[in-house]
Amino acid sequence: MSDAGRCTWCGTDPLYVAYHDTEWGVPERDGRALWEKLVLDGFQAGLSWITILRKREAFRAAFAGFHPEVIARWGEDDIARLLADPGIVRHRGKIEATIGNARAYLAIEEKSGFAPFIWRYVDDVPLQNTWADQASVPAQTALSQALSKDLGRAGFRFCGPTITYAWMQATGIVNDHLTSCHRHAVLR
């Protein structure tokens, strides 16, 4: 597949290309997987996604496989352990947010389920955009702003409207593959 047949943002790095071709934009219906990706997108704030992608397995090991039931019980000793882990992004605020986000996730999961809570914003059907070039793709939308506010009211942190939109794109809530990308039609 030539580079012209995919979105330009992934470049030519084999890890990034594989992520684009197999994961990015695929509708995710599992609540725990949605939460993991939201946490990782929060860690990405201020960094490039490839940085997080390269550290994803270390994140999974450090964060107990992203099981919110485990993480929600963590305290200062766990924060100190994570701050000493060179395999992840060591940012106290993001680590503390992850623990709080695990608690917020569990509260939503108990009430309605996290996946149904998220997917209701698009009536359970991925939004289909038709962007011809990367410059046309927005960094955030009115929908990501509304979802970000609701996540914040539910107790989530590090999920502003730009992070939320990137997460919506990555988890297939919105199909933002360029129309020239071989994945656009597959995911339509």
CA distance linking residue 110 with residue 135, whole number of Å:
40
Q: Is the pLDDT of residue 1 over 80?
A: no
Q: What percentage of the chain carries pLDDT values higher than 90? A: 97
Q: What is the residue-averaged pLDDT of the chain?
A: 96
Tell if the pTM clears 0.75, that is, is over it. yes
pLDDT band at 79 (very low <50, low <70, confident <90, very high): very high
Q: Is the pLDDT of residue 148 over 90?
A: yes
Q: Is the pLDDT of residue 2 over 70?
A: no
Residue-level pLDDT at 73? 98
pLDDT in tens, 24-73: 999 999 999 999 999 999 999 999 999 999 999 999 999 999 999 999 99
